[in-house]
Amino acid sequence: MPTQTFFNLPKDKQERIIQGAMKEFSQLSFSEVSIAKIIQHADISRGSFYQYFEHKMDLYCYLIRKFKRNYHELMVAKFREHAGDFYAGYLAFSEYYIRAILESPKFGFFEQLYLNMNYQLNKQSIDILFENDKQEKLVDVVSVADLVVDQTEVEDVFEFLHKLLNQTIMEGFWQEWSIEQTNAQFKRQLDWLFDGLKNHSPQDKEKE
């Protein structure tokens, strides 16, 4: 997170720094982005930059947070719409999320994020969705009655699903898929998880 010094700046100066960073992160991968270029666009000194942010990753995570902060509330809403059904709720969320990313005015930023995503960026992206303790807990709005996990494992399941979702979006950018193709690929994988890969015989179904 930025320091309080950053938040004490006039709004127009905060916005200038954000826009300077967005310009760089929308054109280059995280590793290629130069702090020198960011401070040049923002018209601030290097010393000032480090008064506002601990390092480049600190700034990058702040930008991701700005554009993803409402998605936790969206997940809660989708699960409520589907009466807590895990499959239907997460599928509805994923369809909205994929469209929001691929139709975003900040498309270049997300394109660079997903085309160059590694373990650290993937984890940071997921952690941001769950970092606010004041947010309504997902475990309180989902039903696990028909699943083989209990309430204590729900957060682990969400983390796994988000990794899969990020992986699908990343592949979509690489393959230049449409929104519909990306949604279809994620639904296919979600179906594998929820339906299983085993071919159940009629006898097996009778035993269940």
Whole-model pTM: value is 0.81
Between 122 and 24, name the one with better pLDDT.
Answer: 24
**Can you tell me the distance from the alpha carbon of 19 to that of 2, in angstroms, rounded to the nearest whole number?**
15
Other beta carbons within 10 angstroms of residue 207's beta carbon come to: 7
**Phi, psi at 178, each rounded to 5°:** -80, 170
In 3D, which of 96, 132, 118, 130 has the Cα closest to residue 166?
A: 118
The predicted-structure confidence for 134-177, as pLDDT tens digits, reads as follows 456 777 888 888 888 877 788 888 889 999 999 999 999 999 99
Q: Please give the CATH number for the structural domain made up of 4-66.
A: 1.10.10.60
Other beta carbons within 10 angstroms of residue 116's beta carbon come to: 15
Average pLDDT over residues 16-42: 94
In 3D, which of 62, 47, 56, 71 has the Cα closest to residue 14?
A: 62
**Can you tell me the distance from the alpha carbon of 154 to that of 143, in angstroms, rounded to the nearest whole number?**
10
Indicate the pLDDT class of residue 198, thresholds 50, 70 and 90. low
In 3D, which of 102, 30, 97 has the Cα closest to residue 61?
A: 30
Amino acid 200: pLDDT: 57
Domain boundaries, the chain: 4-66, 69-197
